[in-house]
A and B are shown apart, each in its own frame.
Chain A
Amino acid sequence: MNKTDPFIVGFLNGEPDTFNKIYTESFPAVQRYIVNRSGSKQAAEDIFQNALVTLFVKLKNDELQIKSFNSYLFTICKNLWRRECSQNRVTNLPNTPLIDESVDLAKFSIEQKQWELYQEKFKELSENCRKLLTMSLKKIAYKDIVTFFNYASETVARQRVFKCKSRLTKLIKKDSRYLRLKP
């Protein structure tokens, strides 16, 4: 799907029938996802609206090719919700003019682009590295990683994680889309 797709054109033009289709087809799944993770219906609505605005800006300004509008929108909603949860923030978009949200949404938009870059580079790693890093990034204890991969010791496991992570960070940093982060 690209900018010339009639559905995308309808979305970018803000046509009510396109909005209706999006809300009917995509919102229930997003609401279920958020409510199942202790969010409210109101939070789900705000996340959904923020995701649509973010998607509008991306489609207007980036060379974005998406396979499925619904799946991509769902991914953005999931990441917005993860962001909300990790920062323990309160979303209250309807009472807040967009102008006050612009910096926050801009930051998220940048984070989303970086996350997509990480995902892309992660897929370039070997199968073994992907498995090992998935366990490490899920914070599974090294003793369990040792058992799982049948390594000789935790030192060996740490060395392997180091090698895979170095490969990944090298791939990310080499890409022109990488932006330096500050903690």
Chain B
Amino acid sequence: MDSRNSFGADRPGGRPRESGIPGTAPSLPAVPSLPGMEATIEVTDLRKRFGPAVALDGMSFTVLPGQVTGFVGPNGAGKSTTMRVILGLDAADAGSALVGGRPYRSLRHPLSHVGALLDAAALQPSRSARNHLLWLAHSQGLTAGRVDEVIGQAGLASAALRKAGGYSLGMRQRLGIAAALLGDPPVIMLDEPFNGMDPEGIVWMRGFLRSLAAQGRAVLVSSHLMSELQDTADHLVVIGRGKVIADTSVAALIAAASSGRVTLRTTARPDAMTVLANTGATVATAGRDTLTIAGLAADKIVAPLGESRVPFAEVSAHRATLEEAYLELTRDAVEFRAAAASGGPGASSPQSDSKEAAR
């Protein structure tokens, strides 16, 4: 698509990954100081309250060019609020959000700096998709020709003249993508773009996001489902309760979640559990004939099982799914939310929940 890409045109997976460690800043060196480095989002210590509720509690992260950054957290963690602050829609109580080094509200032709999709349903139902893009294009001094280009890129050519009110959610997402591409921006920011998409659309979206990153754009994609980002994101910013829990590459996050664990397949699960527990390892059931063992290396597992003549089929290093890693990270935030939603800060346990309900 763009011949000036410096890398990544061969294969989407061929992008370089930086080796981040959970909880530490990304390690790409000196990116903001390079000339022409517009494709960044820098969020620094954002704080915002809605009445008594703390929405953002010191949110800080940086989105770098050339990769898809997943922005994940439970519902209500502050993803959308952060994006609205970045786009100058909401004012933060403290902190700063810069796009290419500048506050969004100071940008001229903002759509050629950032393409954003916040709410795919934000459409005038009686206006056609093409006309929706047309007024956006006119606001940036762009022509109808550019509108037709992005309609093609988003795969909407056959439906562009239909009223947007009749669009399915998946088509609206595509229309939102088209709008985000209108100004051909170096930064793309999408809030839950997979919502309402059919499997085919999800596959398309993943490939599309990766190709955008491969062109050297910074792509920030929020989701409350880590699985959606499994094969898409290179980097993850995991948030909960208004702040960053982990800022890491996908590879490092999985490695950390998998570290030191071993998966054992055995037909004699109870016997194996007893034997391994006696060695001091932590053993957990992971399936009908599967155990996950922590605190004991794979080669140290085989010997005691052999001595006790416990049959086993397979011993392998455990590889956590992204979902598992994510659930591990966000457990606190989710529990807090569940409690808060059912009875306020005072109701911190299931027991008190049921009491509330019984009254």
Whether chains A and B associate is no
Give residues in B with beta carbon < 8 Å to A.
none
